[in-house]
Every structure is written in C-alpha cells, then in structure tokens.
A and B are shown apart, each in its own frame.
Chain A
Amino acid sequence: MQGQNVALVKANLELAVARRQAEESTRLKSEFLATMSHELRTPLNAVIGYSQLQLAGMAGELSAEQHTFQERILANAQHLLQLINEVLDLSKIEAGRLEIHERPFAVRDMVAEIMTQNRVLAEAKGLSFEAHLDPDLPPQMMGDRGRIKQIIINLVSNAIKFTDQGSVNLQVSSEEARQWRICVQDTGIGIPAHTQETIFDEFRQAEEGHHRGGTGLGLAIVRKLALAMGGSVHLKSEVGSGSVFTVTLPLVPVDDNVLVEGEHNV
C-alpha cells in the first residue's frame, strides 16, 4: 500500500517535470521565432531601403539599366520578405502559437476590402473579377477576421496569378445551418491531377508556380489556418480549364444583442 503511494507520488512528480519541460520548450521556440523574425528583417530593411532610395532618384539619376536592376533587387527583396512572413506564420502554427481570436465581424465589409485590394491586379491582366455574397449569410458572424481574410487573399491572389484570361470569382455562401463556404473559382491554367494531392504541402507548388513568383507556402498556410479554425479546404481542378478552391468554416451567427455586448468588451 505504502509502496503504491510512493510510486504514485513519484509518477506525479515526473509528470509535473515533463509538463514544465514542455512549457519551457514552447517558450524557447516562441522566443527563437521572435528573434529570428527580427534578425531577418533588419538587413532586409537596408536592402529594400537602399534600392527604394535609388529608384526614387534620392541618390542621383540612374541609367535605364541601373533602374531595371534596382527594380529586380527590390522585387527579389520583397519576395524574400514575403517568404520570411510566411515561414514565420507556418512556424507559429506548428509551434502551437497561432492564436485564433474570434470576434463579431461583418463579412460584407471584409469581402469589399479584399475586392478593392485585388482589383488592380486582376484588371492589369484584363480579367473579370467579381464577388458574390449569399443574401442568406448573417451580416455578422463570429470568427478571426484577420485570419479568414488571409485565407481568402491567398486564394484570390493565387487565382489571379495563375489565370491569364477569363475570370476570377469569389463566392461566399452559407452551406448548412452551421457552416459557411468561401469559394474561389478561376479560369486559369489548372493543376495537374498528380500534383493536386501535394499542392497543400510546404514548397510543393506545381512547376508553374516557380515561374510565376510563388513562395510555395500560401496554400500550406491556407490549409493550416482553415484546420486551426475547425474548417477544411477542397480543390477541384482541371488542366487548361481552371481551379476551384473551397474553404468550409463553422458558422456562428451573432445576434444584435450579443454584438452590442461584444463591442463594449473590445
């Protein structure tokens, strides 16, 4: 009896130690990510800064070729910055540090912002670019607006990037009582069947992705974010005719009373 007690006490102690070690390891990982983010951004600030200074003519006139080369330096530095942001996003998700902050938000406003931000890109390629909002969707829903927006922007900018003619459409609708659906449809180059299974993995974009300046991380982030919010992602695609990405998320409507209360808390 006493022997059993001693064993139990010992097991409890070991568990407590293990838990503390796990917490410490999570804390160290977070600290490492924060430091790495800082250390990578600092030199990039100089690279981007100097090239912008030169392109703006703040360091004297440039020849046409110098101007072009500076533009390439800037474009590559910005690509590197995007990679850093996305690698950090992924690492945060992996380290279990991604926090989902659910608050009431207006879907219509969010979609309008996304359309404004991406319209220039779509128009520059001569694409038709439209959004359709299901009138049955509650005007206010609970969710992490920033993360949901990140998902849609990743999908929409991908669609624009891989579509040379035709259209990119965003559809937001309620699926059943407890789910809603974000659907991004394009008439782009499409994704070969053998790539469709791995396209959501890190750095596994289809061959064409490299040529079009993708980081190979956007879709990995989309899937991880959707999963973290209790949702899922589906892909339907055919080479030559286009792709449809569908994200399904749990739907929690906000009634007006709760919204007022929520606003007080903010």
Chain B
Amino acid sequence: MKVRNVKDWVVLLVDDTPDNLIVAETTLNYHGAAVYTASSGSEALRLLNDIQPTVILLDIRMPGMDGWKVFENLRANPQTASIPVIAVTAYAMDRDRDEVLARGFDGYIAKPFDVMAFIDTIGDILDERVDCQPADQQQGAQTL
C-alpha cells in the first residue's frame, strides 16, 4: 500500500443506510482519518457550515435531497465548491460511472466497495485531482 497521510484526512460520509456508514467509517477510522457522518443530504449541508472536510463521500440515491441535488448545492456554494466529492453508490450499471463523472464529481466508487482497496481508491482520486490543478491553485489548496 502506498504511503498516504490518511491521518490528515477529514472525511464527510453521506449515506442514508446506517450499515454502510458504519462500514466506511470503521475503515477510515482504522487508518486514522477523522470522520463525520450525515444520514441525509440536508444534514450534510448543515454540517458543512461548521466543518471543512478534505473529501466528501456522497451516496446518490437517498430519500429527500438525493446526491445529485446535494452535489449541485455544494458546487454552487463558494464555501464548499472546491471540496473533492466522490460518489459512493449502488448505481453500478454500465453508464452510471460515466454519468457521475460527466456531472463533475471527482471520482466514483461502486457498491459493494472493496474495504481492502477503499483507502487507496480514495487516495488515488485525491492525488489525481491535485495533479490536474494548475500550480497556483495547488498552492492555494495547501494553505487552506
């Protein structure tokens, strides 16, 4: 496994299924990340008034405000617009991945996800995002 500063990660998990929150949270905690959880889109948006996570892991199909709506809200708000968002979803049919990425998400993880590869997958998506940004933005991101 690649060396990663998982201990510096602050992760916001958004999922309406408690078991799936627990599985993701346990994995992330085990590797040293700080984790916040929200079981609905609106709860996630409220939490984001107080925290600035490194990455948001967002379920798509949720009652009330779904993941698409949450994502629109995140990108429309200057406070949250630059936080990386990864869809973690059981929408795993052929075109779902393409749709998620086309809408501007930073990454896509299909459920059931592989617990053993979870940290690396998130890390790779975050690395790729930093690599893709212009140098001045990268510095800006570091000073945050």
Q: Which residues on A are within 8 Å of B, measured CB to CB?
A: 33-34, 37-39, 41-50, 52-53, 56, 58-59, 77, 81, 88, 99
Mark each residue of chain B from 24 to 60: 1 if its CB lies under 8 Å from any CB of chain A, else 0: 1011001000000000000000000000000000000
Helix, strand, loop or mixed for chain A's interface?
helix
Q: Verify B116–A45 contact, CB threshold 8 A.
A: no
**21 contacting pairs across A/B (C-beta < 8 A):** A33-B93, A34-B93, A37-B92, A38-B61, A38-B90, A39-B90, A41-B110, A41-B111, A44-B111, A45-B113, A46-B19, A49-B24, A50-B19, A52-B114, A52-B115, A52-B116, A53-B115, A56-B30, A56-B116, A58-B27, A81-B112
User: Which of A37, A39, A41, A49 meets B23, CB within 8 Å?
Assistant: A49
Chain B: minimal CB distance from A31 (Å): 11
User: Which of B27, B110, B112 meets A53, CB within 8 Å?
Assistant: B27
Chain B: minimal CB distance from A104 (Å): 19
Q: Verify A49–B112 contact, CB threshold 8 A.
A: yes
Q: Verify B116–A42 contact, CB threshold 8 A.
A: no
Q: Verify B91–A42 contact, CB threshold 8 A.
A: no
Q: Verify A37–B90 contact, CB threshold 8 A.
A: yes
Q: Which residues on B are within 8 Å of A, measured CB to CB?
A: 17, 19-20, 23-24, 26-27, 30, 61, 89-94, 110-116
A contact residues around B111 at 8 Å (CB):
41-42, 44-45
User: Which of A41, A43, A77 meets B92, CB within 8 Å?
Assistant: A41
Q: Verify B17–A59 contact, CB threshold 8 A.
A: no
Q: Verify B20–A49 contact, CB threshold 8 A.
A: yes
